[in-house]
Amino acid sequence: MSEERSSKVKKSIILSGLVGTGGLFVAKALGLVYSIPFSSILQSDAYMSYYGTAYRIYSYILNVFTAGFPFAISTLVARYTVSGDSIALKTIKKISLAAMLITGTAGMLLMILFSGMLANLIAPGEDVTIMATVLRILAAAIFFVPLLSAFRGFYQGRREMQEYAFSQAFEQLFRVAFLLSTAYLAVYVMGKERKIALYLAVMSTSIAAIAGLLQIFVFDRKKYPEILKEAEAQTTATQPQSVLIGEFISLAVPYLLVAVLGYADDIFNSVILPLGLRMHGYSQQEMNVILSAFNYVGTKLTAIPMILAPGFTSALIPHIATSMAEKDSRKVASNIYDCLDTVLFVGLPVAFCIFLYAEDAYQILFYTNDVAASSGVIRWIWFEGFMGTIAPIVTNIMMTLGLRKDVLKRLAVTLLIKAVIMVPLIMWIGYPGTILATVLAYGYLVIFNLRQISRTFGISFRKVGVILLRTAIATAVMTGVCFGLKAIGLNSLNSGRMIGLLKIAVNLCMTTLSYLLTAYTMKVPQMVFHRKFTFRRIAKKK
């Protein structure tokens, strides 16, 4: 039964994407849940800002040095799995692990080298030392995480999406357990300063990566012998190692350049945003509140809709690579439709919930000195969550279709647009200028990439537009229901955390139900999932 379910997942891009997203969702949900006690342990907007900002810098360096390689590994593994060349798969695995070891070491050394300079740009006065220490501790993770990514990329190419999902969740669970237990012991049992909890929190990333490596190594020992056995029995010719290295580099380098350009938001929000805020005239206390909201709380909340991007991208690459290898253009188009339709149907309402429940998030989950100012920032950030979900998926569709030069040019223009207008907009209207710059830059990227896909492959996105419009209408209905329920008392105001959480949970359930019913009435889920979802069908299944 489990083998049959696994086979269905491997064949369907929707199921593969949802399984991949499911693992990431569990990981991000754990990240959101631990924020409640962790922010109480830190009890500092400044420390939360340093924690979030450090992770954005870490994420950027990690993506720059490793982002292209897991995608290249996945693509090559999918390609040679289809051709039945198991000897090549053995070689690809060796190449990928060696490449990740080299790039991980380089990324770690780079982050350590520039930690002092970055700390001076981010933190004021005496806190520069704290910020630099956080960056140096976090740098160690850049050595271990790429190795874990190599294993994940290999089995992603084999369409082992259940292991891909479990690996993500396991790593995060281990990280949260280590982070909370050691931070609590340090502050409340041993009486240490709260900055020690901050240091232990960033150390947890390396510890969790090591645990994740051990877990996926156990899985590898179960699955890899199948490939070895097939390689021993293989009688057909295989590709020379030099050819495979060339293919690996030709695939990885464009993805690497995409990472340099596409993940630049992490640098913008961690380094350029503080500069713009100072030029606007915000005080240091106001900046701590805003940066904590952007780089800690905002990152946690936007990560929920944005997990659709890596979740579906991980499914998209092997499916489209396989369809292109088989020269099945109809299947390629079908995979693109399924991916975009599902992401819009799920991603838009989830991202908009950030706007709807911004103040409630601070009342229930997070620490801040200024709830009104912090929740005001979060209400703007939902745009970033939605655009950060759609843009990477469209970009990776372009990459997988072989339109690499064009997408790199547009990413460069996108980066230039944001670099030119971000600081002036912040100086003019304050922190919302950051979001406006993001929407304008990413809007250009998405629209022009979709136009090129349509013209090059003859793919019409009219149905996708219909789904977007109907999804927006259902989201508007959901908004009215949410505010109506809040007006009659289902809100977190003037309630304790537990009572507030219960009220918002009821509000969220009823709001979600209103979205699903409205979407169902307009036949959106039927169009997205290619199912009728009638009550008779459900009863028959039972």
SS3 for 316-357 is HHHHHHHHHHCCCHHHHHHHHHHHHHHHHHHHHHHHHHHHHC
pTM of the model: 0.70
Name which of 162, 170, 172, 151 is nearest 221 in CA terms.
Answer: 151
Structure confidence at residue 538 (pLDDT): 45
Q: Which residues contact 455 (CB under 8 A, 6 or more apart)?
A: none
Q: Is the pLDDT of residue 507 over 90?
A: yes
Tell me the average pLDDT across 240-268: 80
Q: Would you call 540 helix, strand, or coil by DSSP?
A: helix
CA distance 336 to 401: 10
Q: What is the pLDDT of residue 154?
A: 84
Helix (H) or strand (E) holding 237: none
Q: What is the pLDDT of residues 286-310, one digit of tens each?
A: 888 898 888 888 887 887 777 665 5
410 phi-psi bin (left φ>0, alpha ψ -120 to 50, beta other): alpha
Half-sphere exposure of 141 (CA within 13 A, CB side): 28
Task: Note whether 392 and 262 are within 8 A (CB).
Answer: yes
Higher pLDDT, 100 or 28: 100
In this model, does residue 51 exceed pLDDT 50? yes
Q: What is the pLDDT of residues 305-332, one digit of tens each?
A: 776 655 555 555 566 666 766 777 787 7
Find all residues with CB under 8 Å of 381, minimum gap 6, and list them.
Answer: 293, 294, 298, 301, 302, 354, 435
Separation CA 398–CA 411 (nearest Å): 12
Total Cβ atoms within 10 A of residue 235: 4
For residue 494 the two structure tokens come to 């003037």
Across the range 192-214, mean pLDDT stands at 92
- What residues contact 373, with CB distance under 8 A and at least 6 apart? 286, 289, 290, 293
What are the pLDDT digits (tens) for 453-481?
998 888 889 989 999 999 999 999 999 99
Q: 346 pLDDT band (50/70/90 cuts)?
A: confident
Average pLDDT, the chain: 83
Answer whether 159's CB lies under 8 Å from 318's CB. Answer: yes
DSSP state of 297: I
**CA–CA distance, 228 with 510 (Å, rounded to integer):** 52
Residues in the chain: 542
Domain ranges of the chain: 32-263
**Residues near 223 by beta carbon (within 8 Å), at least 6 away in sequence:** 155, 158, 160
Q: Are 92 and 281 in contact (CB under 8 A)?
A: no
The answer on pLDDT for 99 being more than 80 is yes
Buried b (16+ CB within 10 A) or exposed e, 371-381: eebbbbbbbbb
DSSP 8-state class, residue 528? H
What's the farthest any 2 CA atoms get from each other in the chain? 73
Contacts of 113 (CB under 8 A, 6+ apart): none
- Provide the pLDDT for residue 542: 45
Q: Kindly report, residue by residue over 119-142, the tens digit of the pLDDT.
A: 887 777 778 899 999 999 999 999
Q: How far apart, in whole angstroms, are the C-alpha atoms of residue 32 and residue 85?
A: 42
